[in-house]
Amino acid sequence: MLHKQELRLTEILYEKYVTVYTDTESAPRACILYFHGGGLLYGNREDLPDGHIAALTKAGYAILAFDYPLAPAAGVGQILSDVISSVNDFCTHNIENAGGPLPFFLWGRSAGAYLCLLAAASGKIPSPFGVISYYGYGLLCDSWFNVPSAYYRSLPAVSESCLKHLPDRLHADGGLDTHYSAYVYARQTGTWMSLIYSGREKLFYLDYTLRTCTAFPCPLFCAHSLHDPDVPYSEFMALAERFHPQRFLSSGDVHDFDRDPKNPDTSRLLSETIHFLDRHVPGASAV
pLDDT at 277 over 90: yes
Predicted local distance difference test score (pLDDT) of residue 11: 80
pLDDT at 39 over 50: yes
Predicted local distance difference test score (pLDDT) of residue 99: 46
pLDDT at 182 over 50: yes
- Between CA 84 and CA 156 the distance in angstroms is 36
Average pLDDT of the chain, as a whole number: 95
Query: How many other CB atoms are there within 10 angstroms of residue 100's CB atom?
Result: 6
The model's confidence at residue 12, banded by pLDDT at 50, 70 and 90, is confident
Predicted local distance difference test score (pLDDT) of residue 285: 55
Query: What is the enclosing helix (H) or strand (E) of 274?
Result: helix 264-280
Q: Is residue 287 part of a domain?
A: no
Range 242-278 burial, b when 16+ CB lie within 10 A, else e: bbebbebebeeebbbbbeeeeeebbeebbeebbebbe
pLDDT at 286 over 80: no
**CATH number assigned to the domain comprising residue 163:** 3.40.50.1820
Q: Residue 177 to residues 72, 166, 215: CA-CA distances in angstroms?
A: 17, 11, 40
The closest alpha carbon to 230, from 250, 254, 251, belongs to 254
pLDDT tens for each residue of 82-127: 999 999 999 987 655 544 578 999 999 999 999 999 999 999 999 9
Give the phi and the psi of residue 124 in degrees, each rounded to 5.
-100, 5
Predicted local distance difference test score (pLDDT) of residue 116: 98
Q: Is residue 86 part of a domain?
A: yes
> Which residues are paired to 132 by β-bridges?
107, 221
Strands 61-66 vs 16-23: parallel, antiparallel or unpaired: antiparallel
pLDDT tens for each residue of 40-71: 999 999 999 999 999 999 999 999 999 999 99
Q: What is the extent of the structural domain holding 200?
A: 2-282
pTM over 0.85: yes
Q: Is residue 211 part of a domain?
A: yes
C-beta separation of 155 from 171 below 8 A: no
- Between CA 144 and CA 285 the distance in angstroms is 41
Structural domains in the chain (count): 1
Residue 243 carries which DSSP code? H
Averaged pLDDT, 264-269: 97
Residue 91: exposed, middle, or buried by beta-carbon count in 10 A (0-12, 13-18, 19+)? middle
pLDDT tens for each residue of 121-169: 999 999 999 999 999 999 999 999 999 999 999 999 999 999 999 999 9
Residue 22 carries which DSSP code? E
Q: Is residue 145 part of a domain?
A: yes
Q: Is residue 95 part of a domain?
A: yes
Q: Is residue 239 part of a domain?
A: yes
pLDDT tens for each residue of 198-251: 999 999 999 999 999 999 999 999 999 999 999 999 999 999 999 999 999 999
- Between CA 135 and CA 95 the distance in angstroms is 27
